[in-house]
């Protein structure tokens, strides 16, 4: 598992632009699930609702991308919560590990993908 995360991290370091934001990193995992070993999945693609399947693995991947080995899901989720205020994400009440893209996020909608 650790090796898989390591490989994915290296892959990301190559394919992702330097200034990628967290929400873009999340979006890319969802758009290219085959490259990320089912870390996340769409709950409702049209509505932009998605779920973390392997929360700690996603956090580790994000940490590798930012060269931060102490990253974990608790810290990642705090950053996610700041997106509510900016309307990059919408809150999904009562469902753990479930988030929704907001009106200020782009590139995840069908027909928009492939940017």
Partner DNA sequence: TCGATATTTCCTGCTT
Partner DNA sequence: TAAGCAGGAAATATCG
User: Of these, 86, 106, 109, 112, which contacts DNA (CB under 7 A)?
Assistant: 86
User: Of these, 48, 71, 105, 108, which contacts DNA (CB under 7 A)?
Assistant: 71
C-alpha 27/C-alpha 33 separation (Å) is: 10
> Which CB atom, from 49 or from 97, has the smaller least distance to DNA?
97
Q: Which stretch binds DNA (CB under 7 A): 5-13, 19-27, 32-40, 42-50?
A: 19-27
Identify the burial level of 97 via C-beta atoms within 10 angstroms of its C-beta, where 0-12 means exposed, 13-18 middle and 19 or more buried.
Answer: middle
Q: In this structure, are strands 98-101 and 49-52 parallel, antiparallel, or unpaired?
A: antiparallel
Q: Which stretch binds DNA (CB under 7 A): 1-9, 33-41, 84-92, 105-113?
A: 84-92
Subset of 90-109 contacting DNA (CB under 7 A): 91, 93-94, 96-98
């Amino acid at each position: 598992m650790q090796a898989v995360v390591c490989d994915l991290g290296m892959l990301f370091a190559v394919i992702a632009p330097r200034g990628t934001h967290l929400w873009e990193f999340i979006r890319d995992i969802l758009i290219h699930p085959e490259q990320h070993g089912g870390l996340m999945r769409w709950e409702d693609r049209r509505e932009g609702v998605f779920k973390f399947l392997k929360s700690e693995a996603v956090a580790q991947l994000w940490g590798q991308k930012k060269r931060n080995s102490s990253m974990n899901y608790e810290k990642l989720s705090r950053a996610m919560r700041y997106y509510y205020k900016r309307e990059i994400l919408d809150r999904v009440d009562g469902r753990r590990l479930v988030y929704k893209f907001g009106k200020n996020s782009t590139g995840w909608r069908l027909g928009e993908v492939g940017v």
